[in-house]
Chain A
């Protein structure tokens, strides 16, 4: 078992900088997920950790030891590739056994290790099959088995589920979570699917264009996104962003004018000289409250999506923006109806012109207020 530490790691391909000053510390036995949009450098970062790419600049430490110049094997790493990367001409058994580089006399040990791995991943009946005679999910399990049979200190996954259908994805996701509990090894997992990230991770690293946008637990990222990017990336349906104008502001809170809603007091700190600037208000779909409005007032419900357990309402703002609101199903509102908007002031986020989240004033007082309210 081992912790991984990145210190100002950079990676350039020619003149393009793909990884930009990334630092983080991953604890022993932790499950960390890298998420980010396509092309943000997730795979590259993982391959840097694996040792498949060389680090241009910065240090990578495993178990407090600098490993920049060690081979993947010396780093004690196992990796599961997005494309499975199984050896097409070898049976499942051979695929798993091939990486177990033990002396010939140790055939017994290899055999035991392969069969034990197969048992854990429920591959028992498939050991003699070739990869092409397996389903996608089974291939995925073989790939995982091959990586874990060597009992590496650190297991890396590069989008391991992206080739599976939705049902299998959920199932395999659970298997990976179970595997992590059982093995207790450090796992780093790349995905662009935020549901996978939220469900699997102890901590999530959100990457954007090669730099770290935010690192935190799923709850932290969801409830306290550090930037508009993270806020928009985590959560489905996406957070709503509304352009607002600051009326007043100081280090205790601010007052903003929300089109279609009116003036509201928020707990976010706003420097006095930022008053009058254009800000963006971020509201999660479940934090929007709707009440029926008279004709010609409020905003129009332009679409209702019924999902069984809940419904999404799409609202057309005056400036053309679409907002989405999560409600119970069936929805109280129908398409074409008009509604008035409101939101929980202490659940919303405020982002400045550069997309940074404005800090909340005096968090202690706010949480006091919560506990005061709770009994009532």
Chain B
């Protein structure tokens, strides 16, 4: 009984299995030994987990708590510790009209921009990534070379590649405009990064260019694990390759694709570098991260910026939890 309480206080998840285990063992004469073994195992597990938990607490937990604290003060960049506790006023407050982040149309604009950017860029990356992976999975001469070359966009630091793209997209000297003009597709140079209707697409194009290799790599790994004999069976049965792709290949690579998508989605939801380099603080491409940085650094308002960061964190957490929940439900139902 004492063991059980100990386990319950120490770890909920372990306790669930522990309890089932104990239940099983309840009438068994080996119960005594079983609990001791179990206890030793739990202790060993904690021992192994401890370093990671400590590191996580230091590098993730502490900043998070600190940010959360700042978000409830009116601290500014010049006097970090001089902030007064003001409750949730940074988030929302009524003072002859609504104030605070939640009442700032710019914030909601940046939330919408972020979601739009995430949805479009990750969808494109998923589709293109699968296509690229399928091509790289085929047998052709120089395949290894192409595989290595494909990884280059992913290997270049984002700031560098974004700067390269910024020059290529430059309205005066950019090679993209030059080529489009040369081909006669446009009559006048487009200002890709300045034009509000184009800049979001410019940013998406660059992000897709950069991140597609990542998706392709994960999917390629999954493709290479596929049972080749299934494809021969499908061939003998005369099933159309397109049908084979949607009914056999896609379901089998789905787990890998879902992992790739969640990685990409998390990256995209807190996107900063590529957008900041390409369009700086422009409203049409302002994302949550850019908004938070602007408040925090440019307006020196640490409290307000921290509140924005906290909201960003909560939105990402919410989306992740929902995604994982749906993903697990679907995977669980499928297998």
Contact = CB atoms under 8 A, between A and B. Distances in A.
Interface of A: 50-52, 71-74, 77-79, 81, 83-89, 98-99, 101, 130, 146-147, 150
Contacts of B252: 88-89
B247 to A, nearest CB: 7
A150 B236 CA distance: 11
A71 B233 contact: no
Nearest to A130: B335
Interface of B: 227, 229-230, 232-240, 247-248, 251-252, 334-335
Contacts, number: 63
Contact of A83 (B229, B236, B238, B251): B229
A73 B251 contact: no
Nearest to B248: A87
Contacts of A72: 235-238
A73 B244 CA distance: 15
B232 A81 contact: yes
A52 B236 contact: yes
Contact of A78 (B232, B234, B236): B236
Contact of B247 (A51, A98, A146, A150): A98
Given A79-B233, A87-B248, A89-B334, A101 B239 contact: yes
A101 B238 contact: yes
B168 to A, nearest CB: 43
A356 B248 CA distance: 50
Given A73-B236, A98-B237, A88 B227 contact: yes
Given A89-B334, A89-B335, A130-B335, A71 B238 contact: yes
Contact of B233 (A51, A74, A146): A146
Contacts of B234: 98-99
B41 to A, nearest CB: 28
A372 to B, nearest CB: 55
B238 A81 contact: no
B142 to A, nearest CB: 19
A88 B248 CA distance: 9
Contact of B239 (A77, A81, A99): A99
Contacts of B237: 72-73, 78, 98-99, 101, 146, 150
B258 to A, nearest CB: 14
Given A81-B232, A81-B233, A146-B233, A89 B238 contact: no
Nearest to A50: B236
Contact of B238 (A73, A85, A87, A146): A73
Contacts of A77: 236
Q: Which of B227, B230, B237, B240 has the most CB atoms of chain A within a 10 A radius of its CB?
A: B237
B86 to A, nearest CB: 55
Given A98-B239, A101-B238, A89 B251 contact: yes
15 contacts: A52-B236, A74-B238, A77-B236, A78-B236, A81-B229, A83-B229, A85-B229, A87-B233, A88-B230, A89-B252, A98-B234, A98-B237, A99-B239, A101-B240, A147-B236
A77 B236 CA distance: 7
B149 to A, nearest CB: 28
Contacts of A150: 237
B246 to A, nearest CB: 12
B228 to A, nearest CB: 9
Contacts of B230: 85-88
Contacts of B239: 98-99, 101
B319 to A, nearest CB: 27
A301 to B, nearest CB: 48
A273 to B, nearest CB: 53
Contacts of A81: 229, 232-233
Contact of B227 (A51, A85, A98): A85
A79 B236 contact: yes
Nearest to A150: B237
Q: Which 7 A-B pairs have the closest CB atoms?
A: A73-B238, A99-B237, A85-B229, A85-B233, A72-B236, A79-B236, A89-B251
B70 to A, nearest CB: 49
A131 to B, nearest CB: 10
A72 B239 CA distance: 10
B217 to A, nearest CB: 23
